[in-house]
Chains A and B, each alone.
Chain A
Amino acid sequence: MTVNGSRWSGDVPARQTLCDFLRDELELTGTHVGCEQGACGACTILGDGEAVRSCLMLAVQADGMELTTIEGMGEPGNLSTLQAAFLRHRAFQCGFCTPGFLASAAEILGSGRRYSRRELRDMLSGNVCRCTGYEPIVEAVFECQR
């Protein structure tokens, strides 16, 4: 598989989830694990450009896929447009949910379609944030559509 542009190959335990593989094996701990049942969205990453729950995939199922985690989206001093918009709008407080929101938003923005705030609110409802009340998150994503 390819993770953040780097090829990785090896054996993984058949029972290991993708999020545990990313965190424990590759030490990419920016992928956060919340509910482990697909409800909270914290572990969302991009798999072949699509937002997927890394807790709802076994690592073996990612064989051959191209994965992007938060570590592959930008870095301090060189933030992605979306990350910069999150910062500008204060679209995070504790930051636990942020990597998942950024992955979901990346697919939404990648579609090239322009959504209303109402539509974005629906589309972002698969990620849970307990701090911000969502307004700044929706605003940050909305702004990046321009």
Chain B
Amino acid sequence: MAEHGDQAMPLAGGQSLIPLLAMRLVRPGHIVDLSRVGELQQVSVAEGRVSIGAMARQRDIEHDPRMPGLVRVAVPHIGHFQIRNRGTVGGSLSHMDPAAEWPAIALALDAVMVAASVRGRRDITADAFMIGPQMTSLEPEELLVEVVLPMRTEGFGFAEVTRRGLGDFALAGAACQDKAVVVFGVGLRPQRLRVVEDFLNRGGGTRAEISAVAASEIQATDAIHTSSHYRRVVAAALVGAVIEESQARGGVA
């Protein structure tokens, strides 16, 4: 990757990149297959943090009891199980589909993304990592190698609305960890709802009041199947729902 720069694309599980290649939406000069880099598949837990190697498969994460609660409830929504058999955590984050679950999880948990290149390693906050659709702050020669999450087993909530149940892309979704609130699938990238978070920090309100605050803050765009109005209304309702869910799970919101 150092040699070929933006002409080289890393291939993780291939569940997003191979369709892009098939549709000729990307035409890289070189593809670097990461499937045999064993150290990228490692998962470790230490000092209240979970460290997930970029090539850990969704399937393995889904069945790993060491994962934070938000990860456990959100990962089963990623594609169908056949996709989770091949798809990876790092691949999903690097692909940065605005409707994908992992960017929302990372933003809600204040994840640290570890990028590496021949020049060394650097930490990137989840917020700085995600720029827009298929756009991250990774440099062309850099690779996402690891995601570090805080170990939280309560105070989380997750919900999404799709056209056809599990496995489909989210038309709108929401995730929260305590007072960190995220909507995804509604705009160009997942959005932290800082106004809603301030509202919760000042004591919050009823579910309807929380949803009303969310509706005024969410930045939604139009999409093929949904208008921006629909996405804002649905996402705002989901925000109310996930905060209620997190409180039922012992959250401090």
Q: Which residues of A are interface residues toward B (Cβ below 8 A)?
A: 14, 17, 36-38, 41, 44, 47, 50-53, 55-58, 60-61, 104, 107, 122-123, 125-126
Closest beta carbon of chain B to A143's beta carbon, Å: 21
Q: Which of B12-53 contact A (CB under 8 A)?
A: 14-15, 18-19, 22-23, 31, 33, 35
Q: Which residue of A lies closest to B15 (CB)?
A: A56
B166 and A61 form a contact (CB under 8 A) = no
Known: A37-B23, A61-B11, A126-B79. 7 other contacts (CB 8 A): A17-B18, A44-B82, A53-B86, A55-B18, A55-B22, A56-B14, A58-B11
Asked if B80 is an interface residue, CB under 8 A from chain A, the answer is: yes
Query: In the bound complex, do residue A125 and residue B164 qualify as a contact, i.e. CB atoms below 8 Å apart?
Result: yes
Closest CB of chain A to B73's CB: distance in Å?
Answer: 15
- With an 8 Å Cβ cutoff, the count of chain B residues facing the other chain is 22
Distance of A9 Cα from B250 Cα, bound (Å) = 55
B165 in contact with A52 (CB, 8 Å): no
Query: Given A53-B83, A61-B33, A126-B83, A37 and B165 touching (CB < 8 A)?
Result: no
B163 to chain A, nearest CB (A): 12
Complex Cα distance A55/B86, Å? 12
Q: Contact: B19 with A122, CB < 8 Å? A: no
Tell me the bound Cα distance from A125 to B14 in angstroms. 20
Q: Which of A17, A41, A44, A56 has the most CB of B within 10 A?
A: A56
Rounded to whole Å, the gap between the CB of A123 and the closest CB of chain B is 6
Cβ–Cβ < 8 Å partners of A61 in chain B: 11, 14, 33, 35
The 6 A-B residue pairs with the shortest CB-CB distance, nearest first, are A126-B80, A37-B19, A50-B85, A51-B82, A56-B18, A36-B22
Counting CB contacts under 8 A, is B167 at the interface? Answer: yes
Q: How far is the CA of A24 from the CA of B241 in the complex (A)?
A: 50
Pairwise interchain contact A125-B18, C-beta atoms closer than 8 A = no
B81 neighbours in A (Cβ, 8 Å): 51, 104, 107, 123, 126
* Bound Cα distance A55, B83 (Å): 11
B85 A58 Cβ-Cβ under 8 A: no
The one of B11, B59, B79, B166 in contact with A122, judged by C-beta atoms closer than 8 angstroms, is: B166
Task: Find chain B residues with CB under 8 A from A123 CB.
Answer: 80-81
Nearest B-chain residue to A45, judged by Cβ: B82
